[in-house]
Amino acid sequence: MRKKIVAGNWKMNKTLEEAKALLSEVVNMVKDEVTGDVTVVLCPPALYLTTSRQYITAGGRVALGAQNCHEKASGAYTGEISAPMLQSIGVEYVILGHSERRQYFGETNAQLADKVNSALENGLTPIFCCGESRELRENGDYIGFVKDQLTDSLFHLSAETFAKVVIAYEPIWAIGTGLTASSAQAQDMHFEIRRHIAGQYGDAIAQDITILYGGSANEKNAAELFAQPDVDGGLIGGASLKSREFTNVVKAVN
Ligand code: PEP
């Protein structure tokens, strides 16, 4: 049975007071309004994770996620945060390989394989991001590119461990641009991702893996995107910063 998830990636936004207000609004709206079988993952800036924990009841519908972690468990890596640290404060999910981390911080597929390992070894669920640039979408083998991202960073995992990963397909050209992939474009790529996984791990695991769509998803387009058979929810950036809109996106999961 595939798990439906809507995750909010707050990126580098909100002061502490604003973050507390957003947390409390989202947690309450989800409690009062969301009836469907969907897990909501809130990913505030790392600085606010400990405070955020106080708003989120362990084992409930809302879970806490980080936006990144280092691949090593500890050591002389000034400014970094490790998977055991996240685990120790009750974080359950971690976004890995977001295109902004790949682009601005030079994260590679090989480094992401190490981050995925560290997250899984410490009981965190990686939300592993993949997706192609606009140039590739227009002129290149964009499906092959996304398949290679999965192969290089995830396919070393055993079947049992791979089954714990959540994948987020986020075409770079759609992130923060207002250019959403059409529901057909999202479905086509999610289908290809699932087929690629089936080739490595078999159909049963491929059918069970949660694959989220990310890229300018909002309260207007979410229902159509989430209605696609291979789209199991969303990774939401801009629209996760407003409680009303984000809750509406969550409610679009059926
Ligand atoms: C994201 O950064 O993960 C994202 C999907 O952003 P946005 O929804 O703003 O395009």
Q: What is the pLDDT of residues 6-42, one digit of tens each?
A: 999 999 999 999 999 999 999 999 999 999 899 999 9
Buried b (16+ CB within 10 A) or exposed e, 63-92: bbbbbbbbbeeeeeeeeebbbbbbbeeebb
Does residue 233's CB lie within 6 angstroms of at least one atom of ligand 1? no
Pocket residue to mutate for ligand 1, from 68, 226, 236, 242, most atoms within 8 A of Cβ: 236
Name the active-site residue from 71, 100, 132, 170: 170
CB of residue 171 inside a 6 A radius of ligand 1: no
Q: Give the C-alpha separation, 177 to 196, whole Å.
A: 28
Residue 112 phi/psi, 5° resolution? -65, -30
45 CA distance to ligand 1 middle (Å): 15
pLDDT score for 176: 86
Q: Is 238 close to ligand 1, i.e. is its CB under 6 Å away?
A: yes
Q: Which residues contact 225 (CB under 8 A, 6 or more apart)?
A: 180, 181, 183, 186, 213, 217, 231, 234
Query: Which atom of ligand 1 is found nearest the CA of 238?
Result: 9
98 is catalytic: yes
For ligand 1, whether the C-beta of 216 sits within 6 Å is yes
Two tokens at 214?
Answer: 């990310």
Q: Tell me, what's the pLDDT at 248?
A: 98
The single residue of 70, 71, 92, 98 carrying the catalytic annotation is 98
Give the residue, by CA position, lying nearest to ligand 1 atom 8: 237
Q: Supply 45's token pair.
A: 């800036």
- Nearest residue (by CA) to ligand 1, atom 3, is 237
Query: For ligand 1, what atom is nearest to the CA of residue 174?
Result: 10
What is the model's pLDDT at position 218? 96
Residue nearest to atom 6 of ligand 1 (CA): 237
Evaluate if pTM is beyond 0.85: yes
The answer, yes or no, to whether any atom of ligand 1 lies below 6 A from the CB of 95, is no
Residue pair 212/181 in contact by the 8 Å Cβ criterion = no
User: Ligand 1, closest atom to CA 129?
Assistant: 3
Instruction: State which residues of the chain have pLDDT below 50.
Output: none
Strand segments (E) across the chain: 5-9, 39-43, 62-66, 93-96, 125-130, 166-169, 211-213, 233-236
The pLDDT value recorded for residue 178 is: 86
232 close to 214: Cβ distance less than 8 angstroms: no
